[in-house]
Chain A
C-alpha cells in the first residue's frame, strides 16, 4: 500500500517536471505562456490594477495616452486602460469556455467514432464533415440575430461550431491507437469498451487536441472580437472587440481607442498560438532529446 503511494507520487512528479522542462525549451512557448499569465493576472485582479472604474464617465473625452490615462480615454471620457483590463475578463473567458466546450465535444465524439469504427464511424464522420462545411461565422450571426447576443450564446455557438476539428484529430488518434497491442491486451484481459476508451484511448490520444485547443482559444477570442466589432457583441459586457467597436467612429482623430484594444486581441491570439506550438513541441515524441 505504501509502496503504491510512493510509486505514483515520485514518478508522476518526475514525468511532469520532464514535460515542463521540455516545454520551457521552446522560447515561443515561454513567451506565449508569459503573455497568457499576464492576461490571467489582469483578469483576476482587474479591480486592483485598474486605476479608474471602467464605467465612470468624465469630461476628459478622447484624451490621448498620458501618465494620467495610460491608454487615453474614449468618447465618454472613460479610462481606456481600465476598460481594457476589465475587457480581459470577458475575452479570456470566451476563449476558455468556447475552446473547452469544443475540446470536450470533439474528444468524446472523435474517440467514440474512431474506436468503434464500422458503421458508427461512417455515420459520425459524415456528421463531422457536415459540421465542417457550415461556415461558423454566419451560423453565429444567425443564432445571435435570433436569440439575441447574450455572451453565453456566443460562447456556446463558437464551441458548437469548432468541435469538428478536434473530433477529427481525436478520431485519427483513436484509429491508430486501437490497433496497438495494448488495446488487444486490454480486451483479452476483459476490460470493457468504455474502460478502454476512457482509460487507454483518450489519455494516449488527447495531446493533439490540447494543442489545437490552445489555438482555438485564440480563434474564439478573435471571433468574439469580430462579432463585437460589427455590433453583435453582448451589449452588457465590454470585451476588447467591443472597445474597438466603440472607438471606430473616432479612429481618425483618436486612433488609440481602436489600436490599443486591437493590440491586446493580437497579443492574446499570438500567445495562444505560441502555446499551441509549444505544446505540440512538448508532446512530440520525436523531441525526447534536445532541440
Chain B
C-alpha cells in the first residue's frame, strides 16, 4: 500500500501565447510535486482553468511537459511519447469527461470496445474477447448486453455511454486510471451509478486512480487523498476527511464552506471575492493572494512553499 505507483517532481506545463509580439506563457501546471500510492484514489480538485485536466493529459502522455519528472511503475515516463506503445497504454487508462464524444459515431459500440483490446493484445482470440465484453457488460448491469453492443453511440444515453467507456478502459486491466471529470456531464441521478461502477473496477483491479473533479463533495466521497490546485499550483494535499473537517489553506476553507452539502451554516462562510489570477505570467507571490481574505504583504512578494504539516499533509500558505 505504501509503494508509489506514480511520482511527479517539479512538473511544469506552459502553453506559449503570443501577445503583442512578445512570447508569453500560460502556466497551466506550475511546479507540481506529489506521488500516488498503489491502490489509492487520489483526487485533484480545482476550478476551471487550474490545470487539472492538463495534468491528467500530461501524465497520460497526450500532452508533454515543459520540464519535470514523472515516474510511473519505477520507469521515468517524462520526455517520452509512448505513442501506440502497448505496454504503457494498457497500464494507464484515461476516462474522459464527455461520454457522447468519446465514441466514434460511425462505429458500433462493440467495435469501439473491442478495438483497444485487440491492439493492446489483451485478449487475442476474437471469440473470447466478445465473451469477456458481454460478461463485463452484464456485471455492470448494462443489459441486455448484446442489444446495447450492437448499437451506435447516438442511440445510447450519456450514463450508459460513460459506463461503457469505463468498461472499455477497464477491460485493458490498467494499473492506473485517470478519471477526468468523468461524471460532471452526467445527470445527478446517474452519477452515483457511474461512480460506483468505477470504484468496483478500481477495487477489483486494485489499481490506483487520479480522480480529477471540480466537485468537492464527489471528491471527498470517493478519494483517499485530495490535492487542491489553484492556478496551476498546489494549495493543499491532505486526506479527504482532513480536507472536510479541518481545511488549512484559505482556498480550501473557502471551497469547503461554499459547498452547500458539506457546509450547512451559512453565516460561517469563508468568503472570497474577485477573479482567478491570470495564468499568463502571473505576478510573484502566492497565486491566491489577490483573493485571499488573509493575505498580507508577504503573500504578494514571496511565494509560499508547500510545507509538511502533520502526517500526510501539506499546504502552501504563509500562515499555516
CB atoms of A181 and B98 under 8 A apart: yes
CB atoms of B134 and A1 under 8 A apart: no
CA distance A185 to B146 in the complex (A): 23
Q: Take A189-B89, A203-B106, A204-B105 as given contacts and tell me if A4 and B96 are in contact as well, using a CB distance cutoff of 8 Å.
A: no
Q: Which of B82-111 contact A (CB under 8 A)?
A: 83-86, 88-90, 93-94, 96-98, 101-108, 110
Q: Which of A1-49 contact B (CB under 8 A)?
A: 1, 3-4, 6-8, 10-11, 15
Residues of A near B126 (CB, < 8 A) are 1, 4
Q: Which of A158-208 contact B (CB under 8 A)?
A: 180-182, 184-193, 195, 199-200, 203-204
Size of the B side of the interface (Cβ < 8 Å), in residues, is 41
Q: Take A4-B126, A7-B108, A7-B110 as given contacts and tell me if A188 and B89 are in contact as well, using a CB distance cutoff of 8 Å.
A: yes
CB atoms of A180 and B101 under 8 A apart: yes
* Minimum Cβ distance to chain B for residue A151 (Å): 36
| Residue from the set A1, A6, A182, A191 with the largest chain B CB neighbour count within 10 Å | A182
CB atoms of B134 and A3 under 8 A apart: yes
CB atoms of B96 and A184 under 8 A apart: yes
B149 proximal to A (CB < 8 A): yes
CB atoms of A3 and B115 under 8 A apart: no
Nearest chain-A residue to B153 (Cβ)?
A182
B62 proximal to A (CB < 8 A): yes
Nearest chain-B residue to A205 (Cβ)?
B106
Residues of A near B168 (CB, < 8 A) are 189
B264 proximal to A (CB < 8 A): no
CA distance A187 to B102 in the complex (A): 12
CB atoms of B102 and A189 under 8 A apart: no
Residues of B near A15 (CB, < 8 A) are 152
Residues of B near A187 (CB, < 8 A) are 62, 83
B150 proximal to A (CB < 8 A): yes
The prevalent SS among residues of A at the interface is helix
Residues of B near A188 (CB, < 8 A) are 60, 62, 89, 93-94
Size of the A side of the interface (Cβ < 8 Å), in residues, is 27
CB atoms of A184 and B62 under 8 A apart: yes
Q: Which of A195-226 contact B (CB under 8 A)?
A: 195, 199-200, 203-204
CB atoms of A1 and B127 under 8 A apart: yes
Find B108's partner among A11, A191, A204 (CB 8 Å cutoff): A11
CA distance A263 to B90 in the complex (A): 62
CA distance A8 to B107 in the complex (A): 10
CA distance A180 to B120 in the complex (A): 22
| Residue from the set B98, B104, B115 with the largest chain A CB neighbour count within 10 Å | B104
B172 proximal to A (CB < 8 A): yes
Residues of A near B60 (CB, < 8 A) are 188
* Minimum Cβ distance to chain A for residue B186 (Å): 15
CA distance A65 to B129 in the complex (A): 68
Residues of B near A182 (CB, < 8 A) are 101-105, 112
CB atoms of A191 and B115 under 8 A apart: yes
CA distance A4 to B110 in the complex (A): 8
Residues of A near B101 (CB, < 8 A) are 180-182
CB atoms of B127 and A192 under 8 A apart: no
CB atoms of B104 and A204 under 8 A apart: yes
CA distance A220 to B149 in the complex (A): 43
CA distance A182 to B119 in the complex (A): 16
Residues of A near B151 (CB, < 8 A) are 11
CA distance A187 to B149 in the complex (A): 22
B285 proximal to A (CB < 8 A): no
CA distance A200 to B62 in the complex (A): 18
Q: Which of B139-185 contact A (CB under 8 A)?
A: 146, 149-152, 165, 168-169, 172
CB atoms of A200 and B104 under 8 A apart: yes
Residues of A near B304 (CB, < 8 A) are none
Residues of B near A199 (CB, < 8 A) are 104, 115
CA distance A200 to B112 in the complex (A): 11
Residues of B near A6 (CB, < 8 A) are 146, 150
CB atoms of B62 and A191 under 8 A apart: no
Nearest chain-B residue to A187 (Cβ)?
B62
Residues of B near A10 (CB, < 8 A) are 150
Residues of B near A186 (CB, < 8 A) are 104
* Minimum Cβ distance to chain B for residue A73 (Å): 53
CA distance A275 to B134 in the complex (A): 41
Q: A8-B108, A180-B101, A182-B105 are in contact. List 8 more A-B contacts (CB 8 A).
A: A3-B130, A4-B126, A188-B93, A189-B119, A189-B172, A190-B90, A191-B119, A199-B104
User: Which residues of B are at the interface with A, using a C-beta cutoff of 8 A?
Assistant: 60, 62, 83-86, 88-90, 93-94, 96-98, 101-108, 110, 112, 115-116, 119-120, 126-127, 130, 134, 146, 149-152, 165, 168-169, 172
User: Which residues of A are at the interface with B, using a C-beta cutoff of 8 A?
Assistant: 1, 3-4, 6-8, 10-11, 15, 180-182, 184-193, 195, 199-200, 203-204
